[in-house]
Amino acid sequence: MNFYCLECNLKLSNSDITKVKCPCKKVNIKPHINYQKNIIKLTKNIFNYKNKTQKFIHGKTVIPLSIPTFSYQEAIESFQSIASTYLVYGDKVKKFEKMFANYSNVKHSTLVTSGSTANSLALAALTDHSLKRRINPGDEIIAPALTFATSVYPILDIGAVPVLVDIDLETLNIDEKQIEKAITKKTKAIMPVHLLGNPCKIDVIKKIAKKHNLFLIHHIPSFFFS
Ligand SMILES: Cc1ncc(COP(=O)(O)O)c(C=O)c1O
């Protein structure tokens, strides 16, 4: 865990922590470290309590559809970001982008504020005038009929037309067998959603996109690692 000087917001190194004064020389950092240690201890207590009272029993515990869960480490990390006052594009974001790109075996990764923003950014990038083949107003983009509203709003935002394809009732994902029927001369992209942790039949969808020269935009808000 990192500790910060609450006066100058400097991240303290291991050797800084053993000294009395922060390298900024303004203050005694001992109380600052103690405040932060107390917060870590209290946060751990809260999460221990939750873990004790909310035991997961395999095959019995119902996993809620839409309640986020956090570990105490995440709660402490977010507190530390606040203590450091670095709430925007800081070290943690850069580190996460690198780890995410490595894990996904891709060259680049850009962290955004939400799944909805990721869709908006991906689609906006594909309207760029430097692209030979880009998405223009009036072009069609194939999306599943069952998804979250912000799978579709970003399509409308760039002036494109969402074409909704029905879902497979087993997986609740887009029915890949119906995609080709929805492709017209105006289709520019397929935007499947891997819904609720169930991966789509992406190999099949990839082949369809390649055959028809379409962009393939994965929407994976609840899918990563599944
Ligand atoms: C399929 C799908 N798309 C988009 C979102 C929105 O994600 P965010 O709240 O991160 O914008 C959700 C959220 O539940 C979702 O399930």
pLDDT in tens, 88-106: 888 889 999 999 999 999 9
CB of 220 within 6 A of ligand 1: the answer is no
CB of 148 within 6 A of ligand 1: the answer is yes
CB of 154 within 6 A of ligand 1: the answer is no
Distance 12 CA to ligand 1 centre (A): 36
Whole-number mean pLDDT of the chain?
90
Domains present along the chain, CATH in parentheses: 3-98 (no CATH), 112-216 (3.40.640.10)
CB of 150 within 6 A of ligand 1: the answer is yes
CB of 187 within 6 A of ligand 1: the answer is no
Residue 150 CA: nearest ligand 1 atom is 4
The pLDDT of residue 183 = 98
pLDDT in tens, 199-224: 999 999 999 999 999 999 998 877 77
- Residue 57, pLDDT > 80, answer yes
The pLDDT of residue 80 = 81
Q: How sure is the predictor about 17, in pLDDT bands with cuts at 50, 70 and 90?
A: confident
User: pTM score, two decimals?
Assistant: 0.81
Distance 127 CA to ligand 1 centre (A): 22
If you average pLDDT over residues 13-29, what whole number do you get? 86
Tokens of 69: 């869960």
If you average pLDDT over residues 175-182, what whole number do you get? 98
The pLDDT of residue 81 = 83
